[in-house]
Amino acid sequence: MKSPLEAPEKQIAEETSVKPEKPAASVIDTSRMSKGQREALDLAEASRDPLDDRGSFASNLFIGRYDFGRIYPFPEQSAEERAAGDPFLQKLETYLREHVDPDEIDRTGEIPPENFAGLAEIGAFGIKVPQQYGGLGLSQFNYGRAAVLLGSWDGNVAALVSAHQSIGVAQPLLLFGTEEQKRKYLPRVAGGEISAFALTETHAGSDPATMSLRAEPIPDGSEFILNGEKLWCTNGVKAGVLVVMARTP
């Protein structure tokens, strides 16, 4: 039944069913890029949400439409998958209880360096990263269980660990990275080199289209120079690698 809160049919149709007349051509000149960079860009472009297939439960909420069919029945974790995650969950719980002092972290405003090392040692920075790239190779469900456990013990450590591998380098590379990028970066981030995600700017938050930081390729196309400012970058001061959202020419 249509709720009075739901957006008008016309708006829903416009926002969910618009089909581009033809696929948008890449606006970036890739001719001088390395093969790896070109492949990465092509992969990212091809992975854009197609408008005619738009529709996670959450994205539909933004236009006042809720489609419970997309979230129910709530998926159950199989016994086999749960068993695969249990040893890590147990290790993580023991580590948190014995080595992470949430009150001390709140008092000092710092997560001690030995916690970074200890969490790296048990694999907490590469939970979903496949084993071939140095991670634990666990499922999203088991990652979610770890996030719940972390959040129940200490919000600071939960933010560190989750920003690192959900919006930081690991997840975007798993979804959209080339093999070359995965081999280069995933072992580093799974091993504990901290990563972060830089989208927000003074005038860009919920609407990333307003962002102004630019990535300009240098003349030989081998690198980009970033010009602009970012803020509110979780893990930013600890990160060795970052995902940076930028405008390109």
Rounded to the nearest whole angstrom, what is the least distance from the CB of residue 126 to ligand FAD in the complex? Answer: 19
Beta-carbon-side half-sphere exposure of residue 193 (alpha carbons within 13 Å): 12
Q: Does 206 bind ligand FAD (CB under 6 A)?
A: yes
Q: Does 163 bind ligand FAD (CB under 6 A)?
A: yes
The structure tokens listed for 91 are 């290790």
Q: Does 233 bind ligand FAD (CB under 6 A)?
A: yes
The structure tokens listed for 192 are 């504990």
Beta-carbon-side half-sphere exposure of residue 108 (alpha carbons within 13 Å): 8
Alpha helix (H) residue ranges in 154-178: 155-162, 170-176
> Which residues sit opposite 66 in a β-bridge?
none
Q: Does 162 bind ligand FAD (CB under 6 A)?
A: no
Q: 79 or 209: whose CB is closer to ligand FAD? A: 209
Beta-carbon-side half-sphere exposure of residue 56 (alpha carbons within 13 Å): 3
Q: Does 198 bind ligand FAD (CB under 6 A)?
A: yes
The structure tokens listed for 82 are 């749960």
Q: 131 or 248: whose CB is closer to ligand FAD? A: 248
Q: What gap in Å lies between CA 1 and CA 160, rounded to an integer?
A: 42
Q: 186 or 243: whose CB is closer to ligand FAD? A: 243
- Identify which range of 14-22, 43-51, 102-110, 204-212 contacts ligand FAD by CB under 6 A: 204-212
Q: Does 232 bind ligand FAD (CB under 6 A)?
A: yes
Contact residues toward ligand FAD (CB under 6 A) are 163, 196-200, 205-207, 232-234
